Amino acid sequence: MRSSASARLKSLVDFKGTPHQLALAFGLGVALGIIPGTGAIAAAAIAALFRLNLPVMVAGALVTNPITAPFVYAGSFFLGHWILRDHLPAETISRILLGTLVGNVVLAIGLGLAAYLAAFAAAALLRRRLES
């Protein structure tokens, strides 16, 4: 049973690349998944363009999915409105769109960095465990 679990873990971290490269792909994928109009397709294109790990980057982009998207966009809306406060336009549609867009960018950067750090720690730890 233990060898089977080890084999599965090994296949997860057997991707080519250092922990930094894997974490970078995952963090960028998460950030792209949060920005409206991007996602798995943009993540795949950027992964191919910059030779990043495609499956890891697409997996990061898919963190924002139909289940998590309402929470991400609601958080983006409130974060953007909190950041801009009195600097939002008067008309409702512009107010909603600008606030949400600013919130999306800030959330994408923050969650992308958090995803990078978590993925780096996980990849480094798993690689050490599997090598010993």
Collapsed DSSP state (helix, strand, coil) of residue 18? coil
Q: Where are the domains of the chain?
A: 2-131
More confident residue, 116 or 9: 116
What is the C-alpha separation between 91 and 55, in angstroms, rounded?
42
Residue 113 has pLDDT above 60, yes or no: yes
Amino acid present at 56 = V
pTM: 0.83
pLDDT tens for each residue of 76-95 = 999 999 999 888 888 889 88
The whole-number average pLDDT for the span 53-59 is: 92
More confident residue, 112 or 37: 112
Mean pLDDT over all residues of the chain?
A: 87
For residues 112 and 27, the answer to whether their CB atoms sit within 8 Å is yes
R_g of the chain, CA atoms, integer Å:
18
Place of tokens 């080890």: 6
